[in-house]
């Protein structure tokens, strides 16, 4: 498995397919394995690059705190390792936050930008206290219990009941690739320092913003703010789905992204 380096931080990544490159950036605590619905679709037409953010999976977990700017530099380092000057960038949740900083700090590396289930800053349209508690209060819970609790953050109750094989796959991934406490904490620290709302007018890339209308983790109002502030941005709202629409509505979401990227 190839590795890239941003200073002393080693980052694990994979490359699939050929064609115009897409860099996929995962959310809080997630690993490259969770891009499986996209890796079943895009490598037929694109070079799909997935990686583990610092703090999770096979990438390093630095001891010191880090910022979104650091994580955006990690993304640029992945492209450097493959000799890619620029790529389409698709980010989900925290990955969408990182993608915003890639677009702002490394604009020449981005072709088109896709922001999925993400926010310009968590304090602008935050989740409920109940949701925050479910996400952060993990002390004493087993990996399996945390993974099953996370299903309620990602999917509607109807989807959890109907899509049993997907749910078990997500639980299995959650158990096998659970982040360390330090990795999770430091990723959360980067999230809390993220606020691009004052800079949305500076975005120069064609941008697609996608949200699920029942997302309780990153409420849809966040996507409204992004699409309203980024010049020329297009907003797509998927009905009857939540934060994990790239998983449970993968066919529809992938088609939207593919059509936008061209």
CATH, residue 123 = 3.40.50.1820
The predicted-structure confidence for 172-193, as pLDDT tens digits, reads as follows 999 999 999 999 999 999 999 9
DSSP secondary structure letter of residue 215: -
The predicted-structure confidence for 111-134, as pLDDT tens digits, reads as follows 999 999 999 999 999 999 999 999
- Confidence check: pLDDT of 138 > 90: no
Q: What is the pLDDT of residue 137?
A: 85
Q: What is the pTM of this model?
A: 0.98
Q: How many structural domains are present in the chain?
A: 1
Length of the chain: 262
Span 61-68, mean pLDDT?
96
Q: What is the pLDDT of residue 142?
A: 94
74 and 61 Cβ atoms separated by less than 8 Å: no
For β-strands 20-25 and 234-238, DSSP reports them as unpaired
Q: Which residues of 131-162 are buried (b: 16+ CB within 10 A; e: fewer)?
A: beebbeebeeeeeeebbbebbbbbbbeebbee
- Confidence check: pLDDT of 139 > 90: no
The C-alpha atoms of residue 95 and residue 99 are separated, in whole angstroms, by 6
The C-alpha atoms of residue 5 and residue 257 are separated, in whole angstroms, by 29
The C-alpha atoms of residue 144 and residue 70 are separated, in whole angstroms, by 31
Spatial neighbors of 77 by CB under 8 A, at least 6 apart, are 4, 5, 6, 11
Q: What are the Cα distances from residue 45, in Å, to 20, 92, 232, 245, 258?
A: 8, 21, 26, 22, 9
Express as a percent the part of the chain with pLDDT over 90.
Answer: 96
Angle at 200 between CA 26 and CA 230, to 5 degrees: 85
To 10 degrees, what angle do helices 181-192 and 94-105 make?
Answer: 60
Span 65-89, mean pLDDT?
99
Structure tokens at 90: 């698709």
Structure tokens at 130: 């109940």
The predicted-structure confidence for 19-51, as pLDDT tens digits, reads as follows 999 999 999 999 999 999 999 999 999 999 999
- Residue 9: which domain range? 3-261
The C-alpha atoms of residue 50 and residue 14 are separated, in whole angstroms, by 5
């Amino acid at each position: 498995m190839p590795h890239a380096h941003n200073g002393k931080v080693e980052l694990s990544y994979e490359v699939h397919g050929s064609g115009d490159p897409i860099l996929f950036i995962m959310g809080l605590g997630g690993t490259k394995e969770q891009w499986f619905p996209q890796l079943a679709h895009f490598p037929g037409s694109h070079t799909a690059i997935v990686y583990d953010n610092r703090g999770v999976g096979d990438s390093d977990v630095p001891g010191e705190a880090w910022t979104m700017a650091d994580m955006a530099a990690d993304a640029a380092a992945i492209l450097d390792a493959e000799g890619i000057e620029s790529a389409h960038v698709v980010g989900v949740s925290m990955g969408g936050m990182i993608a915003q900083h890639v677009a702002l700090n490394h604009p020449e590396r981005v072709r088109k930008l896709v922001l999925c289930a993400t926010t310009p800053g968590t304090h602008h349209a935050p989740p409920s206290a109940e949701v925050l508690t479910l996400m952060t209060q993990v002390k004493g819970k087993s990996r399996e219990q945390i993974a099953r609790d996370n299903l309620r953050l990602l999917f509607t109750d109807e989807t959890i009941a109907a899509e049993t094989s997907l749910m078990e796959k997500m639980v299995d991934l959650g158990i096998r690739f659970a982040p360390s406490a330090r990795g999770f904490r430091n990723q959360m620290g980067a999230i809390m320092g993220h606020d691009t709302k004052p800079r949305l007018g500076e975005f120069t890339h064609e941008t697609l913003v996608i949200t699920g209308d029942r997302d309780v983790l990153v409420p849809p109002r966040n996507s409204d703010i992004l699409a309203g502030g980024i010049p020329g941005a297009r907003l797509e709202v998927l009905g009857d789905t939540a934060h994990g629409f790239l998983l449970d509505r993968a066919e529809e979401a992938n088609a939207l992204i593919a059509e936008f990227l061209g």
